[in-house]
Copies of this chain bind each other. A is one copy, B any other.
Amino acid sequence: MNEALQKAKLAKKAASGLAQLSTDVKDKALGMMAQALEEQAGYLMKANKLDVEAAVQSGKAKAFIDRLTLTEKRIKDMADGLRVIQNLQDPVGETVAMWKRPNGLRIGQRRVPLGVIGIIYESRPNVTADAAGLCLKAGNAVILRGGSEAIQSNKAIVKVLSQAAYEAGIPEGAIQLIEDTGRDSARQLMRLNGLVDVLIPRGGPSLIKAVIEEATVPVIETGVGNCHVYVDSECDQDMAVNITVNAKISRPAVCNAAETLLVDRKIAEEFLPVVVKELQENGVEVRGCAETLEIVPGVVPAAEEDWDTEYLDYIMAVKVVDGIDEAIEHIEKHGTGHSEAIVTNNYFKAQRFLDEIDAAAVFVNASTRFTDGFEFGFGAEIGISTQKLHARGPMGLKELTTIKYVIQGDGQIRK
């Protein structure tokens, strides 16, 4: 029996127990897991050092090594993350709706855990603690499958977390790591229908694409965001500059950062010089359409592929459009259904943008950067879904549950 199958069987068994656990036990476990991370920081950093050394030897980029490295501070942050989850409301057991049928049957929708969740992710070891905590709080068993670059760190983190959890009364098998980081182990995990209820890939577009291509288990697609800010002719231009700059530079490497600015032709001559200057002063390379270049000479010319590129960097494409019609059309063609914003004072244009843009999050007069479980008030986030099934947009604890119908009768039979 391969590792994925063996661990999935254990996870499924654990999931039955987990679904019945009281919130008290789960919260106690989360507290003990947080404490264990802090207490065993030395052990974790020692394991992490092996990963970091290997990364240095194989010539990984500085940014990569930075993301991989565990420090006392980062371990404390992971522990605090678990304490935040500990304090969130338990979604399990809620009666979402209940009604009585003419024949007397009482039909209720009860919120229950999904069961077994597989998380396939790349090299950030903090995802390990985060995902384990969220899955546990929502009553799910989790099978983690991280990248080879963080394997020593992940093994240590999962060892510490699972020991603490099991001591607190969580069923064995609730938190497991696939230690084989070869491609086959991931593929095996992706095809365990009947044992694994859902896969959530977290990482770059190629990881996500591979999971969608190969999985037979249901997948929640996360993350790719080619987000736009459209600045309408009727708007507060200072607000438009603020929102554009914030959407681009407050954290360029994340999926809710804006990549393209669309500007209504009517105000292009007035607005573009201001916004381009502000972007450039903040270190952003601006790539403009032909009209932009005419208005602001010295801007890099945008190529056709710029409209489809998620830079995740200090680069922004800028295009002059013929009002809201062309803006909506451009977003429909090039957007990835993540987050889209309009800046306008006009009531009808605001409503139209909200109605017609088909994306997980549509903003009026606010930065796209708010698409985030914490900013939405969920208290935590396991990822941002860009698909339409099950969950769309930021996924918190509720999105890690499903419902079951609970039907109470007094002898009803069907005619």
Contacts and interface: CB of A to CB of B under 8 A. Distances in A.
Q: Which 9 A-B pairs have the closest CB atoms?
A: A366-B409, A246-B413, A369-B414, A390-B390, A388-B402, A361-B405, A239-B411, A366-B412, A389-B390
Interface in A209-257: 212-213, 216, 218-220, 236, 239, 242-243, 246-247, 250
Nearest to A236: B411
A193 interface: yes
B404 A358 contact: yes
Interface string A91-110: 00000000101000101001
A364 B242 contact: no
Residue of A20, A114, A390 most packed against chain B (CB within 10 A): A390
Given A115-B388, A370-B407, A389-B389, A413 B236 contact: no
A355 B20 contact: yes
Interface stretch (A50-58, A265-273, A371-379): A371-379
A230 B407 CA distance: 15
Contact of A407 (B114, B218, B364, B403): B364
A374 to B, nearest CB: 10
Given A250-B414, A362-B404, A410-B365, A197 B370 contact: no
A367 interface: yes
Given A19-B356, A114-B388, A393-B404, 16 more contacts: A105-B366, A112-B358, A197-B388, A218-B219, A239-B411, A354-B408, A360-B404, A361-B405, A361-B407, A362-B404, A362-B405, A364-B409, A365-B408, A366-B407, A367-B413, A390-B390
B358 A389 contact: no
Contacts of A375: 101, 105, 414
A148 interface: no
Contacts of A365: 408-412
Given A19-B358, A404-B358, A414 B367 contact: yes
Interface of A: 16, 19-20, 99, 101, 105, 107, 110, 112, 114-115, 193, 197-198, 212-213, 216, 218-220, 236, 239, 242-243, 246-247, 250, 332, 350, 354-356, 358-367, 369-371, 375-377, 387-390, 392-393, 402-415
A245 to B, nearest CB: 8
A53 to B, nearest CB: 36
A363 B198 contact: no
A361 B402 CA distance: 12
Contacts of A236: 411
Given A250-B413, A375-B101, A402 B392 contact: yes
A377 B219 contact: no
Contacts of A414: 246, 250, 367, 369-370, 375
A197 B405 contact: no
Contacts of A405: 360-362, 371, 376, 392-393
B16 A413 contact: no
A9 to B, nearest CB: 13
